[in-house]
Structure 1
Amino acid sequence: MNYKITIIAGARPNFMKIAPIIHELENEKSKGTDIDYRLVHTGQHYDKNMSSSFFEQLKIPQPHVNLNCNGGSHAEQAASIMVEFEKELISNPTNLVLVVGDVTSTMACAIVAQKLHTKVAHVEAGIRSYDWSMPEEINRLITDSITNYFFTTSETANRTLFNNGVSEDRIFFVGNTMIDSLLKFKPYFFAPPIWKKLNLVPNNYLVMTLHRPANVDQENKLKLIIDCIMSYSNNISIIFPVHPRTKRVLERLEISYRKLHCIEPLSYLEFNYLVENAKAVITDSGGITEEASIQGIPCMTLRDNTERPETISLGTNVLVGTDPKKIILHLGNLFKGTWKKGSIIPKWDGYAANRVVKVLLELKKNI
């Protein structure tokens, strides 16, 4: 009987993290290794460019099932995922449920698995912002409190788990599977339509993404952020792929700058083409700070905290804070050419998924 693993994906960041793991599992299967997987898409993100295009671009097989749990508040979505995943797991028992990241699907499926007496492994375990106003932080805390096996991206995450009472034999420092995807698919990045439309050239535009409630839910706050950035960006273009959450607020604002270009969310390969060629990135997304750092692109994070401190200590990221006026200093440093250089981040080398699968095969003996 095959050793079975159920892999959970639900939102955009999950897909980059599971893709290399699936590729490694397929490689093991092709060699005759006794291991199989079932891919469950919870449907948490349902915009084509936020979800479905990732399967094609990252060469992930179509999921075995889509639970179609989209829309609603955090509580409604979590409840919907739990109800549907419980049915799924009862119908398709597994040896291990593997969850990734810190989205609602991660937490909800971990809870269901444990209540059905199924072991849970968490990829990207142990990262913390210590900001309980972030839904993702609550998801991390709950998931890690009921996880059996912890796959980590940094020594900081290892220490966090160990200090919280997790025994070292359950912590596996494997690196960052999202960086595996970035490095593997870097040769396939391609320009989105906005590139040709604006005649963009490398190192002469900024990429901006904003979606955190603290930045986008208040109209006046979002307007002030955009006004500050536009006023101190040396009149170069700002490309702003607008998250659905941000779009609702942005539509109520009367913002009109000739150099601000609000566009629909981009596919993975298109977005990273823009990042790879940008002068800098302004964001409140943790994952983008990782991708920018590995590509050596200056990054400004509009948050008061980060769960990815290695992007600051070793990468190209700077924590700006949530006071929009603080970005003025950092934009000044950028245009003066005094931005810091990044260095190598341990195990962010393209082989994290290979390490994950080796551990999964070892765990087979104990499950």
Structure 2
Amino acid sequence: MLGDFYGYAELLDPEEQEILARVRRFAEERIAPIADAHWASTDFPFDLVPGFAELDIVGLGRAWPDRRAYSKLLTSMVSMELSRIDPSMSTFFGVHGGLALSSIDLCGSEEQKERWLPAMRRMEKIGAFALSEPHGGSDVAGGLETTARREGDDWVLDGAKRWIGNGTFADLVVVWARDVTDGSETHGSVLGFVVEKGTPGFTATKMEGKLALRTVQNADLTFEGARVPEENRLQNARSFKDTNRVLRVTRGGVAWNAVGAMMGVYELARAYALERVQFGQPIASFQLIQDHLVTILGRLTASIAMAVRVAQLQDADHFRDDQAALAKRECTIALREAVARAREVLGGNGVLLENKVTRFFNDAEALYSYEGTREMNTLVVGRSITGIGAFVGRAPERH
């Protein structure tokens, strides 16, 4: 594989390498031919879902009755392969098989896992994850406004969520809300609920005008007296610490999405440089073009090294929040530079969608910001290495 310059995929065992090869073929043969058109139209390619299901790659990291648990390195490289062709489709898959499925797997009861996870694995039910809100991004932990109030055997949800991937069509939405029930043992705590499509009082509206990850169906969700049965409350989600267990896993995943996107633009820029002729020779023969290509490859290879170590730490169960934050920060910073250099290699042709680099150029902006901005991840790591939290500064004096 051109972008894997040091052959990190060879760290996988033979069976895992075959799974990764199947994902690569699917991405190249099924996703690549339609990615640009769907990105332009902002329509979701629902006809790809059966193909995803046939790959049987949902929940690779957990054991099932008929399938062993595979390494975190494999599940991470699956995200890389999808992002290498289309970060939108990798995001769709990550929301379903990562955020939504992991929420139920980590925070649900055994009965809830049996009820929902097999159908999610088969992609008969698609999941979404609803945490971000219109007024809460980085501060969502302390400023969560969506509320849940216990009434008999039901919970009543009120509030709004924003930027919810898969939100327009998901069968199951994992919604995080603050308990405001008087006298409740969990009063004030963040709880998780599985809200099923068609629940009265729950509406999802597609967000328009998005210029990155355009194929992802991000939605505004509203809850107006939406009643959710107690049996749909995630039984092992009792505080935001439980929510963060899910986020810790997926934050490392965004680093791999960035690695995949870098790999994609490197391969596109390299192929273009070998084919494009100026002054009677391929532009790949020019020193400045080679500098761009080598710099992209260097950033990519360094990012893969960091991401591989992240996966190894996750497999060893020694992975920390600050390590997730550093990986997400550095890989997405490197991605931003890589897509800019790739665009430069293509010159004016780099802004044409038909040459694909501009799609990655725009998508990089979303990866750079979601699952923790550069600034927030900087502060997480900064607190770790100094022992001093610098999240909130002194309010400016008023005169």
TM-score normalised by length of structure 1: 0.30
Higher helix share: 2
